[in-house]
Amino acid sequence: MLFKKSITQLVSEAHESGEHTLKRTLSSTGLVALGVGAIIGAGLFSLTGMAAADNAGPAVMLSFIIAAVGCAFAGLCYAEFASMIPVAGSAYTYSYATMGELVAWIIGWDLVLEYALASATVAVSWSQYFGELLKIFGMSIPDEFLHGPWEGGYVNIPAIIIVCLLSLLLIRGTKESSTVNNLLVILKVSVVLIFIGLGWSFINPANHTPFIPANEGEELLKSGKIGWGEFFKDGYFGNFGISGVFRAAGVLFFAFVGFDAVSTAAQEAKNPKKGMPVGIIGSLVICTILYVLFSYVMTGLANYTEFKGDAKPVATAFAKTGYHFLNTALIITIISGYTSVILVMLLGQSRVFYSMSKDGLLPALFSHLGKNQTPWKTNVIFMIFVSLFAGFVPVSDLGHMVSIGTLFAFTLVCIGILVLRKTAPDIERPFRTPLVPLIPILGVIVCVTMMASLPIQSWERLGIWLGIGMIIYFIYGKKHSKIRKQHEQGLKN
């Protein structure tokens, strides 16, 4: 369980070539676009309104900044790992090199939670906006085929179709997928900028007052009328006030899920030593700026209370501008945003399973490459798995589940940098995380704080998911581990 992959072995794998390795086709610009494509989507267009209405009010801007700071600390750690170990697998591979096989398995299984369920969640949202777009053009899909059986329908057909189409695109090749993603990124960033630009002059300052809505429990806590136990037990925590800003940050962390997906494509980057830090940090900076400006305009156009229970808060806010003729463009942009998120999430998932399979922890079919040098069997399996979730299972609560899984992964990556600086101080690092150990420690603190701010149900679901993963590891992964077999063989010789 404590068996580790050596850094030398990982670097050697990164330089392998041939028909059994992933094809290097992504430039630095392509990697930045990959990150932006994964990040801007469901979080910006759906969760912003929910977090403002339920937790933070106009201070949702601060929540975005807090979430971004946690991402920045983790992102700097990711950048060092990705430039030093440019191999597919992201946090899974990094954990294997620093904390051993068992931790690597846990983080790899955790990434399944992040990528696969995020894909399903976003596909359901994509379906709802697609239905709205059809109505604009005088067409419609019966509600029974826009919702799963637990939501009053039969099956969410559009959600299944988009997952299948994007999976087939990934099977065709990473270069083709990247080209489509770049076009989608250009489209949605353009309209996000238009929303900010046009909406700015319609902002009503009264909507930003109070900036942080009062939390009754925080006032009672300050006056000594209740204790910390009552504050948490009685449901005061997270309902506006300072605690609401942090609860919203945990919720909105879902909006940043994706920048780490850049690191899963390290083995397909043309120049990973340069491109990975640029792709990870560049996409994070661009999206943070857009998020803060977007949330400022959104909460300025409409009072945060208007977003309560609103499935399309962006459209509600934009209606205040009077530019109704742009509603169609707005919906198209949201759909394109969701499309690129699903695309990159499915890409990241297949690359994590590819790496785990190469190490023997999963069956060999997950690392089998087709004629286009893509793990097509993995793509097909997850096409079925994700589309079933998207088509039949209610996924409205999975945003929290994805957030806690991602925060857990980020925490382990930050710890990994601390471990590797001690165990392998002299290895070449094209990019070095600054201010070590301060940055990794702050990354752990911020990520754990945001995890603690999430509902208890998120922790329960994470525990169940990891429990299932541990069963699979001890039944299959441990027995078939290549590193373990090499170690046992060495002892025999």
Distance from C-alpha of 57 to C-alpha of 173, rounded to nearest angstrom: 43
CA angle 225, 230, 234 (to 5 degrees): 115
- Tell me, what's the pLDDT at 87? 63
Residue 45 DSSP one-character state:
I
Residue 16 forms part of a structural domain: no
User: Between the CA of residue 455 and those of 160, 219, 233, 405, what are the distances in Å?
Assistant: 29, 22, 12, 13
Residue 17 forms part of a structural domain: no
* Token representation of residue 123: 């596909």
- Tell me, what's the pLDDT at 50? 83
Burial 240-270 (b: 16+ CB within 10 A, else e): bbebbbbbbbbbbbbbbbbbbbbbbbbbbbe
Distance from C-alpha of 26 to C-alpha of 179, rounded to nearest angstrom: 10
CATH number, domain with residue 358: 1.20.1740.10
Residue 251 near residue 261 (C-beta atoms within 8 A): no
Across-strand partners of 26? 269
Q: Which domain, by its residues, includes 211?
A: 5-10+22-480
**CB-neighbour burial class of residue 224 (10 A; exposed 0-12, middle 13-18, buried 19+):** exposed
Residue 284 forms part of a structural domain: yes
Residue 74 forms part of a structural domain: yes
- Tell me, what's the pLDDT at 369? 79
Residue 453 forms part of a structural domain: yes
- Tell me, what's the pLDDT at 222? 81
DSSP string, 410-440: HHHHHHHHHHHHHH-TTS--SS--TTTTHHH
Residues 6+ apart with CB under 8 A from 475: none
3-state DSSP assignment of residue 269 = strand
Residue 493 forms part of a structural domain: no
**pLDDT tens digits, 360-417:** 888 888 888 777 677 788 888 889 988 988 888 765 556 667 778 878 888 888 998 8
- Tell me, what's the pLDDT at 18? 47
Distance from C-alpha of 291 to C-alpha of 287, rounded to nearest angstrom: 6
User: Between the CA of residue 133 and those of 130, 326, 416, what are the distances in Å?
Assistant: 5, 12, 45
Residues 6+ apart with CB under 8 A from 467: none
- Tell me, what's the pLDDT at 163? 93
Burial 389-426 (b: 16+ CB within 10 A, else e): bbbbbebeebbbbbbbbbbbbbbbbbbbbbbbbeeeee
User: Between the CA of residue 116 and those of 137, 172, 387, what are the distances in Å?
Assistant: 32, 20, 10
Residue 119 forms part of a structural domain: yes
Distance from C-alpha of 181 to C-alpha of 165, rounded to nearest angstrom: 13
Q: How many domains does the chain have?
A: 1
- Tell me, what's the pLDDT at 19? 47
Position 138, amino acid: G
Please report how the helices 28-39 and 327-358 are oriented relative to each other, as an axis angle in degrees rounded to 10. Answer: 110
Distance from C-alpha of 386 to C-alpha of 116, rounded to nearest angstrom: 6
Residue 15 forms part of a structural domain: no
Other C-beta atoms lying within 10 Å of the C-beta of residue 75: 29
Reported for 419-428, long-range contacts at CB under 8 A and 24+ positions apart, including other chains, are 419/98, 419/99, 420/7, 420/97, 420/98, 423/98, 424/7, 427/7, 427/84, 428/84
Helix segments in 224-271, DSSP class H? 228-233, 241-252, 261-264
> Which parts of the chain register pLDDT below 50?
1, 17-20, 22
417 alpha carbon, distance to own chain's centre: 21
Position 223, amino acid: S
φ/ψ of residue 403, rounded to 5? -60, -45
φ/ψ of residue 192, rounded to 5? -60, -40
* Token representation of residue 428: 């070449």
